[in-house]
Amino acid sequence: MARNDHFSAFAATYAEFRPTYPPALFAKIAELAPATEHAWDCATGNGQAAVSLTDHFGNITATDVGAAMIENAQPHPQVTYAVGSAEPPPD
């Protein structure tokens, strides 16, 4: 288990109990963003926010320190998942 990887042990059931976010949150993020071609979802977990961001951004890079979280993330053609920490951001 990677440093700060608190959820991989139950990654398969994580999404079942994870609360959803209101669509207005993602609309506001896009409104505040300087550009909407690409966004990075750091600590993506099961990818729930990353997939919601696709309504407002062209492509999403979604990272999490937990390999099991990435393995269980929601697939989406606009989202590229990778194991990675918050520092430094992906290229």
The tens digit of pLDDT for each residue in 59-88 reads: 999 999 999 999 989 999 999 999 998 877
pLDDT confidence of residue 86: 81
State the average pLDDT for the chain.
88
* Beta-carbon contacts of residue 48 (< 8 Å; ≥ 6 apart): 15, 18, 20, 21, 74
Helix (H) or strand (E) run with residue 15 in it:
helix 11-17
Q: For the chain, give every domain's residue range.
A: 37-91
pLDDT confidence of residue 3: 64
Average pLDDT over residues 15-34: 90
> What is the distance between the alpha carbons of residues 5 and 8, in angstroms, rounded to a whole number?
6
* Peptide linkage before 90 cis (omega within 30 of 0): no
14 or 80, which is more confident? 80
The DSSP bridge pattern shows strands 59-64 and 38-42 to be parallel
Is the model's pLDDT at 18 over the cut of 80?
no
pLDDT band, residue 26 (cuts 50/70/90): very high
Q: What angle do CA 8, 6, 73 make, to 5 degrees?
A: 40
